[in-house]
C-alpha cells in the first residue's frame, strides 16, 4: 500500500513505515478513519481538555514554589521526557522505525515518553502517522491551514469515541498494538503521571520538607510538562508556517532553528517530512540535531543499530544546492 503523499514527497524512503503497517484488519480505508471519527463524534474531549487545563493551572504556582533544585529537576526531566521520550522514542523509534534497539530499552523509552503527558505511544504514533500521510491536506489531524491555534493545541481536545479510537489504532499502528507492554502503557497512561508526582513529592519532602516537595512537584511535573507540550506543539503549528524549505515536498513543513533548539532537533521539520525514516534531521552543517546525537550515543553503547541514513537522493539535492549557492 502506498501512503497518500503528494507525488513530490512519495519517496520510497517515506513509504517504508506505511508499507509495513498495511491494512491487515481490512477496516476503514486510509483517509476514512479520522474523517469518520470527526463525523461520528464531533465536540470536545472533556477529559483531554481537563488534563491540559490542570497541567497549565498547576504551572501557575511556579513563582511561589521556585527553588534551584526544582529548576534542576525540571531541566533534567525536560530533556528526559522531551528528547529521549518523545523525540527519540515516540517519534523516531516507534513512529518511523528510524533505528532498532532491544525490547526492554524500547519499553523503557516508551514509558519515559508517556511521562511527557502527550498520551500513550500507541495513540501518539497513530496521530503522527496520519499527519505524515495527509500533511496539510484533508484528514491531517493538525494542519495550520485549519487555524494556527487548532494545529497548536485544540486538535488534541477533539472527541473520539472509544470504538473509533480502537479502529484508528488498528489501522495506523498495528505493529505497536502487537506489543503487550505498549498496550499496557496505553491503558495506564494516567497512573504513571500520579506515580511520578508522588515520587517527586516524596524525594522533595525527604530533602527539605513540604516546601521542597511542592517545588519538585510544581517544577518537575507541571512547569516541565507545559514546556514539553508547547515545544512539541510548535512542531505541528510553527514549523508548518514559518521557516525555510530545503525540499519542495508538497506540504507546508519548514525548517526553523529556534524550534529545533527547544525540541532537540525536531525543528528541522521540512528535512524530516521529505525523508521521514532518516534518523538524522540535520541535513546541513548548521542544522544541529540533539536527538540524533543521542541515537549515536546509543549506537556507541551498543543499544541502537540499523540506523536509517539520509538517502542518497537527499544528498544529491543538497550537493546541487551547495553548488548553486557558489555560482
CA proximity to 165, closest of 209, 124, 207: 124
Smallest distance, Å, CB 308 to Zn ion?
Answer: 12
Smallest distance, Å, CB 102 to Zn ion?
Answer: 23
Q: CB neighbours of 58 closer than 8 A, spacing ≥ 6?
A: 218, 221, 222
Nearest residue (CB) to Zn ion, 253 versus 280: 253
Smallest distance, Å, CB 92 to Zn ion?
Answer: 8
Nearest residue (CB) to Zn ion, 158 versus 253: 253
Residue nearest to Zn ion (CB): 253
Nearest residue (CB) to Zn ion, 130 versus 213: 130
How open is the CA angle 94-303-172, to the nearest 5 degrees?
A: 10
Q: What distance in Å separates the CA atoms of residue 40 and residue 326, rounded to the nearest whole number? A: 55
Nearest residue (CB) to Zn ion, 65 versus 81: 81
3-class secondary structure for 110-167?
HHHHHCCCCCCHHHHHHHHHHHHHCCCCCCCCCCHHHCHHHHHCHHHHECCCHHHHHH
Smallest distance, Å, CB 196 to Zn ion?
Answer: 26
Q: How many residues bind Zn ion (CB under 5 A)?
A: 1
Helices (H), 188-289: 189-217, 224-236, 257-262, 269-274
Nearest residue (CB) to Zn ion, 14 versus 101: 14
Ranges within 251-270 binding Zn ion (CB under 5 A): 253
Nearest residue (CB) to Zn ion, 222 versus 251: 251
Smallest distance, Å, CB 41 to Zn ion?
Answer: 24
Smallest distance, Å, CB 114 to Zn ion?
Answer: 18
Piece in contact with Zn ion (CB under 5 A), picked from 191-199, 225-233, 250-258, 279-287: 250-258
Q: What is the DSSP letter of 64?
A: G
| Residues of this chain that bind Zn ion (CB under 5 A) | 253
Amino acid at each position: 500500500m502506498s501512503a497518500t503523499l503528494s507525488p513530490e514527497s512519495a519517496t520510497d524512503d517515506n513509504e517504508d513505515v506505511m508499507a509495513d503497517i498495511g491494512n491487515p484488519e481490512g477496516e476503514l480505508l486510509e483517509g476514512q478513519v479520522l474523517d469518520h471519527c470527526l463525523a461520528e463524534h464531533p465536540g470536545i474531549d472533556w477529559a483531554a481538555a481537563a488534563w491540559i487545563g490542570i497541567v497549565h493551572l498547576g504551572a501557575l504556582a511556579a513563582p511561589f514554589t521556585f527553588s534551584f533544585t526544582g529548576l534542576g529537576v525540571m531541566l533534567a526531566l525536560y530533556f528526559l521526557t522531551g528528547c529521549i521520550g518523545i523525540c527519540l522514542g515516540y517519534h523516531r523509534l516507534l513512529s518511523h522505525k528510524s533505528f532498532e534497539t532491544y525490547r526492554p530499552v524500547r519499553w523503557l523509552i516508551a514509558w519515559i515518553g508517556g511521562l511527557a503527558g502527550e498520551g500513550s505511544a500507541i495513540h501518539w504514533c497513530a496521530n503522527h502517522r496520519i499527519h505524515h500521510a495527509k500533511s496539510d491536506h484533508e484528514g491531517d489531524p493538525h494542519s495550520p491551514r485549519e487555524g494556527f491555534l487548532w494545529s497548536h493545541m485544540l486538535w488534541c481536545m477533539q472527541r473520539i469515541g472509544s470504538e473509533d479510537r480502537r479502529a484508528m489504532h488498528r489501522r495506523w499502528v498495528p505493529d505497536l498494538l502487537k506489543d503487550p507492554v505498549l498496550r499496557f502503557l496505553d491503558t495506564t497512561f494516567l497512573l504513571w503521571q500520579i506515580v511520578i508526582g508522588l515520587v517527586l513529592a516524596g524525594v522533595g519532602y525527604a530533602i527539605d520538607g513540604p516546601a521542597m516537595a511542592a517545588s519538585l512537584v510544581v517544577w518537575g511535573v507541571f512547569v516541565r510538562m507545559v514546556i514539553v507540550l508547547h515545544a512539541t506543539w510548535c512542531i505541528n503549528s510553527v514549523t508548518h508556517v514559518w521557516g525555510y524549505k530545503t525540499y519542495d515536498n508538497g506540504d507546508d513543513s519548514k525548517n526553523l532553528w529556534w524550534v529545533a533548539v527547544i525540541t532537540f532537533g525536531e525543528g528541522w521539520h521540512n528535512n524530516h517530512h521529505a525523508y521521514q525514516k532518516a534518523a538524522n534531521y540535520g541535513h546541513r552543517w548548521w542544522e544541529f540535531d540533539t536527538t540524533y546525537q543521542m541515537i549515536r550515543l546509543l549506537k556507541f553503547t551498543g543499544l541502537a543499530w540499523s540506523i536509517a541514513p539520509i538517502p542518497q537522493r537527499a544528498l544529491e539535492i543538497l550537493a546541487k544546492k551547495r553548488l548553486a549557492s557558489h555560482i
